[in-house]
Structure formats: structure tokens, C-alpha cells
Amino acid sequence: MKRALLFITDMVAGHWVEGVTIPTTGLAPPNVHDYMDAGLLPTFSEVRENGVFAFAWNRGICNTPHGMRYLASGSYRAKASPMGNKLNWKFDEIAPIPTILDACKASHPDGKVAAFGSDAWMQTGWWKARDCTMGWGSYYSDFLTSQYAMNWMLNNPDWQMVLLYLAQYDVTGNCPVYKEGAAYMEDKHHSIQQLDRYLWVVKTFLEEKGWWDETVLCIASDHGCHVGCNVAVANGRKKGVPEAELPGYCDNHGAPHDCFVWDFEKNTVSDTRCDDCRRTLFMLGGGALEEAQRGKEMAEAEIIDFAPTVAKLMEVELETDGKSVL
């Protein structure tokens, strides 16, 4: 049986514009592509070497709720869900555009589909799975979420698609890019390396249980964040961040999302587009990925291409506005 594990991370930039360097690290702002090249993300690098890396973008409305809808449905037409007003388990009322989890169950009714992560996305329907849905507070422990997911998989060896949504990295906004000896969620630099360790745990688990060779590993994020751009500088100044610390300050992922690189030497905005919140993560790996598809790098992809790519890999019927990168 072919399986899929969807490894979704919050607020992780997949790539970055050239020419931006953080003084405290000498590196680009934390993002998967540049940190892999720097040798700081060994597990992500191993997946890339034997899989597919796509320079993916969110070209639609760019914020947390919309990013998750785009990933789940493969469409920029995905409508807003009624978070803050009511929570409703009636899936069709909330997400009339089908999701990849629901489509997988419809195409393969005998295979089990489960989701583990933030309660907000479970109850609003976007990451609701028919066989098991376990959601906690928005920033519940990524470690414990992973443990619950793996425990369920051990007890349901006939699983076919599992969503593991890790939300805690989203806390690393309004913080330094680098802080000496920082713990998880205290800065961006150390936290993205911790995500690599979580990925290692999941990959090792699949290998030890004999599931790796029949699993496609689908990695994605909903958005990046503002660092080294005019938005980060403006918001940092409003929050009282010292001028000397602004080059290494991570703001968050609020509007505007069309931003420009800040020239710190001239202390002015440049004409180089950054759009750092729109730079999403999109990778494929796993033992079930066909040999001909491994080692590829896609120069351009959209966040809405994630769901149709998963659908193609899993032979799932799903109508989307995006397209498979394969």
C-alpha cells in the first residue's frame, strides 16, 4: 500500500531573496534552502538529495488562515472559515472546496486517514480527517503532537495518509534571528534546526517500522516572515527595537506582504522585492517517490500546487486550481 505523510510546518520560509545577510550569523535569514546549503539542516538535505525541492510562493491572500486553506485545498478560491464566531464540524458548510485529506478517504475508503495538530484547523474543517482528528491549542508542543501521531500509526498500521502539523515555530516572530544558546521558539536560527530534528524523528520512525519505502513524504509551510525588509524595520521601530538590532530582527508575518529589501548601509528601502512572507516551503521525499523524480529542483511553484501534487502521487481524485509539480 502506498502511503503519504504530510509534514506541515508553520511560518517556515522555504527560500529567500539573494543579498540579505544577518550580521549575527553571516547567513541569509533562516530558510530551508539556504540553511541546507550551509549544512545546518541535515535531514532536510537528505530529503532534498533524494527528492524534490520547489521554490514555492503564495500568490494569493497571504496570512495564516489563507495559507492553510491553500495547502489543504489546492485553490486560492478557498473561502474563509468562521473562526472566532463558531466552530462547526459540518465539513461541507465550512469548506465547500474538497481537501486532500477528504479526497484521499473518498478515493481509498479502506485506507485510514488521520490528522494531528492545531485544533483551529481541525474544527474548521481544513485539516479534518475522517478516521482520526486530534487537535490541541494553537501552540501545543510539537514534540507531543509528533508522539501522538506516531502512537496512532503504531495502533493503525493500515494508515494511508497522516497529517502532522507542527505549529510552534509560528511563535518565533517579534524575536531575534539569532540569540546565543537560545531554546526552541526563542529565536529563528536555533528553532529551524529543531524542526530538522523533528523531521529526523519522523523519518527514523518510518524507517524503523518498515514504512519508509512505501511512503511519500510531503513537506510544506503556509508562509514565511518579515526579516531584513522595510516591513520588519518599520514594525521593529514601532516596537522599540534598537536600531543596531534591526538587521537581525524578525518581525512576524503581517501585512503588507509585498515588501522590499532594506539597505541598512544607506538606512533606506531598496528597489529589490523581498516578499518574504510569500516564500513558502514545498518538498517531496520518501522511499515511495519514483526514482525518476528524485534529485529535482523546481524553479517556480505555487502553494496551491501542494494538494494536487499529493493527489497525483496517491492516485486521488481532487479538482484543484493548482497543478502537480510532477
In a domain, 34, yes or no: yes
CA–CA gap between residue 215 and residue 210 (Å, rounded): 10
Supply the pLDDT for residue 19: 86
What does the pLDDT look like over 42-52, one tens digit per residue?
Answer: 999 999 999 99
What does the pLDDT look like over 111-144, one tens digit per residue?
Answer: 999 999 988 888 778 899 999 999 998 889 999 9
In a domain, 120, yes or no: no
In a domain, 131, yes or no: no
What does the pLDDT look like over 61-97, one tens digit per residue?
Answer: 998 888 999 999 999 987 655 333 344 434 444 446 7
Phi, psi torsion values for 270, nearest 5 degrees: -95, 180
Nearest to 161 by CA among 226, 225, 116: 116
In a domain, 106, yes or no: no
In a domain, 298, yes or no: yes
- Encoded amino acid at 299, one letter: A
Nearby residues of 151 by Cβ (< 8 Å), 6 or more positions away: none
CA–CA gap between residue 188 and residue 29 (Å, rounded): 8
DSSP state of 311: H
Angstrom CA distances, 286 to 65, 104, 165, 175, 214, stand at: 28, 18, 18, 34, 8
3 state SS of 218: strand
Supply the pLDDT for residue 96: 61
In a domain, 307, yes or no: yes
Q: Number of H helices and number of E strands within the chain?
A: 10, 13
In a domain, 273, yes or no: yes
Q: Containing domain of residue 307, as a range?
A: 3-91+172-313
Domain count, the chain: 1
In a domain, 98, yes or no: no
Point out the residues of the chain with pLDDT beneath 50: 82-95
The secondary structure element, H or E, covering residue 280 is: strand 279-280
Residue 253: CATH number of its domain: 3.40.720
